[in-house]
Amino acid sequence: MIKSIVSHGTDGFTRDQFELLAPGGDVESIKAAIAAGADAIYCGLDRFNARNRAANLTIDNLKGILTLAHRNQCQIFLTLNVLILESEIPAVMRLLAQLAETDIDGVIIQDLGLGYLVKKHFPSLDVHASTQLNTHNSGQIDFLSKLNASRVNLSRELNIDEIRHLSEYGRARNVLMEVFVHGSYCIGFSGLCYISSARNGASGNRGRCSQPCREQYQTTSQGYNYPLNMKDNSAFGDLQALADAGVYSLKVEGRIKKPHYVFTVVDNWRKQIDRLCDGQELSNNTEELYTVFNRDFTNGFLQGEIGKSMYIDNPRDHAVKHFTKIYQCTSAENVQTVKKALYDKKTDIIENVAARTAGMDITSSSKGASLKGAIDTPTLEPLEKHSRFENPQRLSVLISNTDEAYLSARNDIDVYFQLPMGLKAELPNLFELFEGNPNLKPWFPAILIGDDFEAARMLLDKIKPELLITNNSGVATIAQSLNLNWIAGDQMNSCNSYTLKCLQEEYTASGAFLSNELSKKQLNYIQRPSQFRAFYNVYHPNTLLTSRQCLFQQTEGCKKIKLNKGCLRRCDKRTSILNLKDNPYVVDKQKGSYNSLYSDLNVLNLDVLSDHSDLFTDVMIDLRDIQTETKHHVSNEKLIDLFLAFLRQPNLVEHFDTLQQAITPTRNQQYRKGV
């Protein structure tokens, strides 16, 4: 059941204006969350969810969980928040059919193809947009509402003013806002992190992140061993601000945490919400929150205080260190006393949770509790087999240097210019650039927050390009409203035929990039819709993550303690860090954009064109000015000509070898291992 959106008045807040949403990584954690007073719990099955390391549920015990939760006035949301491979479509359709037979309260999704299938075949299922969809502007809310999303989980990087704007926007469109208020912070924007995938195929977009950001690196010049490790998020003292901003769902992170952790955090938040609704003074006592696992706490993103204070050079539990500081321990004996007290406290919590959940039975009283067995699954219309693409693929070139804009005068290629994430500040210069180069096409980044998203609207309304590429779905809604031809970029993570079908039918997209995370085998059965262009990025610096945080403070160093507006526009830096398990990574900050992390070597994948010659209509090469260890031994113009020659005769060994020699060194392991 979907709760209605209620505006609060001047007399205070009521409990039905909030949802305390708890993590449920296993059955015992779900029981703990219910005992602590959670209004709703998000949990996953043993497949198709973004926490494969959690114990998760089985399809057999889901009905019992639903019965227990609903008996305790608690809702259950099922996480299906991963990208779906083509080979998994029949299995996911069967699962959706099974879920539609239950009284599940909602499904959380990332994959647009999955959203399309739910909308077309299972409209009774309530859809929630995962944090993996990285919603941070109003256009994205419009985009997701077309898939009937009743709520979106906002990006963790937003500040309270940005959240307020989106909450008001969503409320006017009957879309609820959900915000993470406690638990782990990722260093990169969710859904756009490929570092684990690039390392060993353990994709975060498939629920398999191996957390390289928490690992040890070679000690940086600033003396840090864990330069990508952030403190945990805690907005415990910000409840009033979140309430005033109109946030509905207060979400606790932690599906791989233990039941005593879940109980403690949810219990503290339950009491805090109750204080607010009862008109009592809010608590600032965080002792219990510091007792269970934490990496110390920060509310830096929420307060817009992004900087050095959000980092901690230790990914392990901070509890002992916190209390030794509180009690001013000066000897090993004092520290040992604190450790024992903490152990005893956690033991008390564990025993309390066990006692409070002892009577909770998850066996459904109804017959046929298992969801296994015969189930009617809707028959999908056969996908139209795309016709073999006989002509050479059209070559697209991505640039970031205005001095190379003259390349757009060529009629044998399409040239795209990388727009900055801080778009508003550069708008006058961009008007001039595109007016002076009418064939130049815009390439929109994945992150466009606040005024920078509105600047995208102004730019498109003025220049009205014949074609654009966007990695931000909010820009897609603008393009659709202006009747512009648009292509879904590679960071929109298209991984199956139904995502392509969704983009074409629901959003009038002209084409899409297929994800560079996919292997040769995983691309095999994808069908390109009729009159739809399929792009592939065959040469590019490999973007591992993008962060709103400054990645230089812990690495190369920066005199500023926290970021300001000038950092985004003026800062232009590069450094590298060395993970002790594998390769170096390049940290790159371009003027006008946020920090990004790149692989040390660029990706060159020429094999995909011979392996899937009939699938792709367009090929991109990324010639942006991002300094990695890969070197070009010819000019960019010559390199373009070499790629054109290869596209005309991709099976000619001479062209293949010439390109391989012109760009060295490169790697292509992702295409072999997939996700």
Report pLDDT digits (tens) over 286-334: 999 999 999 999 999 999 999 999 999 999 999 999 999 999 999 999 9
Whole-number CA gyration radius for the chain:
25
**What CA–CA distance (Å, rounded) separates 247 from 527?**
40
Ranking 41-55, 77-91, 115-129, 278-292 by mean pLDDT, the lowest is 41-55
**pLDDT (0 to 100) of residue 46:** 78
**What CA–CA distance (Å, rounded) separates 590 from 398?**
15
Q: Does the pLDDT value for residue 8 go beyond 90? A: no
**pLDDT (0 to 100) of residue 5:** 42
**pLDDT (0 to 100) of residue 375:** 78
**pLDDT (0 to 100) of residue 58:** 78
| Residue 461 or residue 652, greater confidence | 461
Torsion of CA 176, 180, 181, 182, to 10 degrees: 150
Q: Does the pLDDT value for residue 372 go beyond 80? A: no
* CA dihedral (176, 177, 178, 182) positive or negative: negative
Chain centroid to Cα 205, Å, comes to 8
- pLDDT (average), residues 351-375: 73
- Binned at pLDDT 50, 70 and 90, residue 49 comes out as low
**pLDDT (0 to 100) of residue 425:** 96
Alpha helices in 373-450 (DSSP H): 427-436
Residue 449, CB half-sphere, CA atoms under 13 Å: how many? 22
**pLDDT (0 to 100) of residue 454:** 98
**pLDDT (0 to 100) of residue 11:** 57
- pLDDT (average), residues 11-40: 95
Q: Does the pLDDT value for residue 72 go beyond 60? A: yes
Cβ count within 10 A of residue 489: 27
- Binned at pLDDT 50, 70 and 90, residue 6 comes out as very low
* CA dihedral (235, 241, 245, 248) positive or negative: positive
- pLDDT (average), residues 556-579: 93
* CA dihedral (631, 633, 637, 640) positive or negative: negative
- Binned at pLDDT 50, 70 and 90, residue 54 comes out as low
- pLDDT (average), residues 460-486: 98
**pLDDT (0 to 100) of residue 371:** 54
For residues 578-605, one letter each, b for 16 or more C-beta atoms within 10 angstroms of the residue's C-beta and e for the rest, the string is ebeeeebbbbbbbebbbbbbbbbbbbbb
* Chain mean pLDDT for the chain: 94
**pLDDT (0 to 100) of residue 50:** 54
Q: Does the pLDDT value for residue 383 go beyond 90? A: no
- Binned at pLDDT 50, 70 and 90, residue 374 comes out as low
Q: Does the pLDDT value for residue 7 go beyond 60? A: no
Question: Could you give the angle at which helices 473-481 and 451-463 cross, rounded to 10 degrees?
Answer: 40
Q: Does the pLDDT value for residue 367 go beyond 80? A: no
Six-digit token string for 19: 């949802």
- Binned at pLDDT 50, 70 and 90, residue 536 comes out as very high
- Distances from the Cα of 459 to the Cα of 178, 455, 590, 641, angstroms: 30, 6, 21, 31
**What CA–CA distance (Å, rounded) separates 263 from 281?**
23
Q: Which residues pair with 397 in a beta bridge?
A: 415, 621
Q: What angle do CA 636, 639, 640 make, to 5 degrees?
A: 90
Percent of the chain at pLDDT above 70? 95
**pLDDT (0 to 100) of residue 3:** 45
Alpha helices in 7-131 (DSSP H): 27-36, 62-71, 89-100, 112-121
